[in-house]
Amino acid sequence: MSAEQSPDPAEEPARRGRPRSEASRLKVLTAAARLMVEGGFEHLTVEGIAAEAGVAKQTVYRWWGSKADVVVETIADGHLPTPVEGPEDTGDLRADVRAWLEEIFGAVELGDTSRLVRALLAALASASETAAAINAALIEPIQEGLRERFVLEAQRRPGALPSDPGFLADTVGASVLLHIMLGDPLEQQWMQQLLDLVAPAGSRLD
Amino acid sequence: MSAEQSPDPAEEPARRGRPRSEASRLKVLTAAARLMVEGGFEHLTVEGIAAEAGVAKQTVYRWWGSKADVVVETIADGHLPTPVEGPEDTGDLRADVRAWLEEIFGAVELGDTSRLVRALLAALASASETAAAINAALIEPIQEGLRERFVLEAQRRPGALPSDPGFLADTVGASVLLHIMLGDPLEQQWMQQLLDLVAPAGSRLD
Amino acid sequence: MSAEQSPDPAEEPARRGRPRSEASRLKVLTAAARLMVEGGFEHLTVEGIAAEAGVAKQTVYRWWGSKADVVVETIADGHLPTPVEGPEDTGDLRADVRAWLEEIFGAVELGDTSRLVRALLAALASASETAAAINAALIEPIQEGLRERFVLEAQRRPGALPSDPGFLADTVGASVLLHIMLGDPLEQQWMQQLLDLVAPAGSRLD
Amino acid sequence: MSAEQSPDPAEEPARRGRPRSEASRLKVLTAAARLMVEGGFEHLTVEGIAAEAGVAKQTVYRWWGSKADVVVETIADGHLPTPVEGPEDTGDLRADVRAWLEEIFGAVELGDTSRLVRALLAALASASETAAAINAALIEPIQEGLRERFVLEAQRRPGALPSDPGFLADTVGASVLLHIMLGDPLEQQWMQQLLDLVAPAGSRLD
DNA sequence: TGATAATCGAGACGGTACGTCCAGTCTTCTC
DNA sequence: GAGAAGACTGGACGTACCGTCTCGATTATCA
């Protein structure tokens, strides 16, 4: 899936026929992004995408096998506001993760993000063959962002983390995603406990 | 949705007309269960359920508003093998959770469970109004099973748990669900770390 | 094909389900007639018929297998101006057939009839399974009209016809249809010869 | 359409660029003939022709305006077995026409010819602008074949024919074509009557 | 006991979207 | 320039389900 293009351009020297229109590709992806934000994955239709993009339906089917495929590429290409970056680094892991959580749940409450996450999970659930792709597009970035911050912390303060940074990122990411999926608000107690998980409180007061 | 039947039978004093057929209700639910296991939520259709059940489509629409509603009741009524119970209690929390994880991922690898979980999450994702219902049908039972075991442990060995039983159950449950959703296999290292999370290893060797 | 309805109504006692909508049937047929006259069989589409009729496409496909089937029933039901009746009977066969020819070719030149005939022949040619139906709807009526007039003549003046009335009707009908199909105008000489075929001129002057 | 090639070569003074490929032209025509016999005019597509011929679709469109045009040229070039020649001349007109009819209807029953005739009539009916071309390719040859035989007869036995040879050819041809179009078998009685039409039986026994 | 009323099966209805096919046109590189 | 390749817009195809709507038949309560 990831290695369709040859590293050596000499191997694919002269594709014949009219080349694929990059303009059409972009029109499809931006249209999909637009409609995704408006109506979610469930109300997304291939016909709708084609119409919004001003493109023939066949052009969509020529390059993508399903709307899930379109959505995946839409995200991978960054046409949808990927819900999150990892936490900032101010030196205080606990505060950083706290701010990150508040930012995410804030975005969710504001609207689009929740629908987006739900849409992506729907895409994931409905197209098992694209599970890996959506995982790569949605979930891994979040967990990777977390992991980077955790690794930083581990380097800075060896022994400060209660367990492996990767595992922590995996766990915290899963927890956050599921709560977003269920539309849960950010509860103070839950957040405290999550913070304790990644950065045992010691004597701090939050 | 949840309060259709009145607690006081005197309030619903012998409705006139032909009463609802319990037989049809059951035929619908078992048909839905059958089709769910075969094709997943995405390939489930109201027409298919009605046909499989030998029931008129209108009968489905009369009593359920959508296929998600049917699925929810199917699970609630126990016609679908709910993926998991909580862990057993043998006195050794770590061993219990370990066995529980192996059982779950074993079932997933065997086949139907993965599709089922994915189907339910799809239902959840596609029908926000039923999110609570599916949460209640799928996620809470898992987390509740975990919580009960954790509470037991906390009572038995105060201070043994690194954090609140409810929070632990929430976290572990989310992590497990997401991994199932993604079709991940059970990795030894990940499991060890998860076990460390709920039952710090001490000197034990697994 | 011709005997779907039972002569004994007791044999088809209780069709279940919602009965077929006669209104929809008529809307489809009149819409088809309208579009047929406007654009001919080639530009006729099932989608167009459905839209013009204000009917779901599936309703067309439920009752007719193709646009040819719709057209056949449209004619059979008399929603299209059947190109011709047989010749009148004024007592003078030659004059009657002459008038008949002029009427037909007049209609053709005026416009719609030619397109109609061509359309029907196209339908016939494109759908061999409906050949019989279109034959029954278009060709046989013409030949039957001719035959009736010829039979009348044969009864009135035994020996006046040069050959069997049925055969004469077949031959003349075929000739006329093919000329219409080709868009030929009515040539005087050809007509004279055709008239001679059915009613040898004797001493008459036309 | 009929005068693409100039009679005077001086008028077309050495066109520049690559000359038209005769090989491609032939590949298209033979491919069209092949597909025509297989599936009839209705299933014939320009894309199919191009693919079967190993030629770019554009090459077809460059030189022919429609699939009907291709078919016409296919016939004109003799790549399709033109259904019939005129009747042989053995001196006995009645026997000759009889043999001719039996040959034609025999070919029809054997298979391809009927489809072919139907296909051509469909082409004719669906593309009014090519009516003349198909008339020239299919109908006129038949009628011309008949006419020649009739003319011969008229020269040999003046007064033997009941009417003008051209008219007879027109009438008989139309009748035969329509019967083929309808898939009718060759009926003895009809044939006898047709023979009577062109060669009054006198005392003969067939 | 018969009228009333709601459910049941069946299945047709207006719709929306599907995924495919083909028409004709356009764009690129090669001969 | 012709030609092969093949992507492009456009539009109809025939199918699958949606959720709604009659039907006749059934099964209860109520008068």
pLDDT at A27: 97
| Distance of residue D167 Cα from the nearest chain C Cα, in angstroms | 7
Provide the pLDDT for residue D36: 84
What's the number of domains chain A is made of?
2
Burial class (CB in 10 A: 0-12, 13-18, 19+), C36: buried
pLDDT greater than 50 at residue A3: no
Residues A62 and A144 in one domain: no
Residues D130 and D193 in one domain: yes
The residue that leads in pLDDT, A73 or B132, is A73
What's the domain range around D171? 93-198
Compute the distance between CA of residue C190 and CA of residue C196 in angstroms, rounded to an integer.
10
Task: With a cut of 90, say whether residue D179 has pLDDT above it.
Answer: no
Task: Show which of B29, B50, B76 is a domain's final residue.
Answer: B76
pLDDT band at D93 (very low <50, low <70, confident <90, very high): confident
Write the CATH number for A68.
1.10.10.60
B187 and B117 together in one domain: yes
Within-domain flag for B13: no
Are D126 and C121 in contact (CB < 8 Å)?
no
Q: Does C10 score more than 50 pLDDT?
A: no
Domain assignment present for residue A176? The answer is yes
**Looking at B76, B107, B124, which one is the last position of a domain?**
B76
Residue D62: pLDDT band (50, 70, 90) is very high
Q: Are residues B102 and B194 in the same domain?
A: yes
The 3-state secondary structure of chain D, one letter per residue: CCCCCCCCHHHCCCCCCCCCCHHHHHHHHHHHHHHHHHHCCCCCCHHHHHHHHCCCHHHHHHHCCCHHHHHHHHHHCCCCCCCCCCCCCCCCHHHHHHHHHHHHHHHHHHCHHHHHHHHHHHHHHHCHHHHHHHHHHHHHHHHHHHHHHHHHHHHHCCCCCCCCHHHHHHHHHHHHHHHHHCCCCCCHHHHHHHHHHHCCCCCCCC
Q: What average pLDDT score do residues A110-131 get?
A: 62
Size of interface A-B (CB pairs under 8 A): 89
Please write the tens of the pLDDT for every residue from A17-46.
Answer: 899 999 999 999 999 999 988 887 878 999
> What is the band of C91 on the pLDDT scale with cuts at 50, 70, 90?
confident
Instruction: Pick out chain B residues at pLDDT < 70.
Output: 1-14, 82-84, 110-134, 136-137, 201-206
- Whether residues B64 and B125 share a domain: the answer is no
Q: Are C175 and C127 within one domain?
A: yes
For A151-205, write each residue's pLDDT tens digit.
888 888 888 888 888 999 999 999 988 887 777 889 999 999 999 888 876 544 4
Which tens digit of pLDDT belongs to each residue from B28-61?
999 999 998 888 777 899 999 999 999 999 999 9
> D42 in contact with C at a CB cutoff of 8 Å?
yes
Residues C103 and C41 in one domain: no
Q: Which residue of B has its CA nearest to A127?
A: B42
Cα D88–chain centre separation: 17
Q: Is residue B9 part of a domain?
A: no
Residue D15 lies in a domain: no
Task: Indicate whether D107 and D165 sit together in one domain.
Answer: yes
Residue A146 included in any domain: yes
Residue-by-residue DSSP string for A106-149: HHHHHSHHHHHHHHHHHHHHH-GGGHHHHIIIIIHHHHHHHHHH
In the predicted model, is pLDDT for residue A206 greater than 70? no
Question: Which pLDDT score is estimated for D69?
Answer: 84
Pick the closest to residue C177 from D124, A66, B74 (CA basis).
D124
pLDDT level of residue D9 (50, 70, 90 thresholds) = very low
The residue whose CA lies nearest the C1' of nucleotide E6 is B17
Yes or no, beta carbons of B183 and A125 under 8 Å apart: no
SS3 state at B185: coil
Do both B69 and B103 map to the same domain?
Answer: no
pLDDT for residue A4 is more than 50: no
Higher pLDDT, A55 or A79: A55
- Of all nucleotides in the shown strands, which has a C1' nearest the CA of D67? E23
**C1’ E2 / CA C16, Å:** 26
Residues D100 and D157 placed together within one structural domain of the fold: yes
Same domain, B121 and B158: yes
> Is D178 part of any domain?
yes
Q: CA(A150)–C1'(F20) in Å?
A: 56
CA distance C66 to C130: 10
Verify that D44 and D120 share a domain, yes or no.
Answer: no
User: Dihedral sign, CA of D111, D117, D123, D125?
Assistant: negative
Q: What's the pLDDT score for residue C88?
A: 85
DSSP-based three-state secondary structure for B78: coil
Q: How confident is the model at residue A141 (pLDDT cuts 50, 70, 90)?
A: confident
pLDDT of residue C124: 62
A116, A155, A133: which is closest to A65 by C-alpha?
A133
For residue D87, tell me if it sits in a domain: no
Residue C24 has pLDDT above 50, yes or no: yes
More confident residue, B7 or A96: A96
Token pair, residue A81, equals 């506001």
The dihedral built from the CA positions of residue D101, D102, D108 and D113, taken in this order, carries a sign that is: negative
D130 falls within a domain: yes
Give yes or no for CB of C10 within 7 Å of strand F.
Answer: no
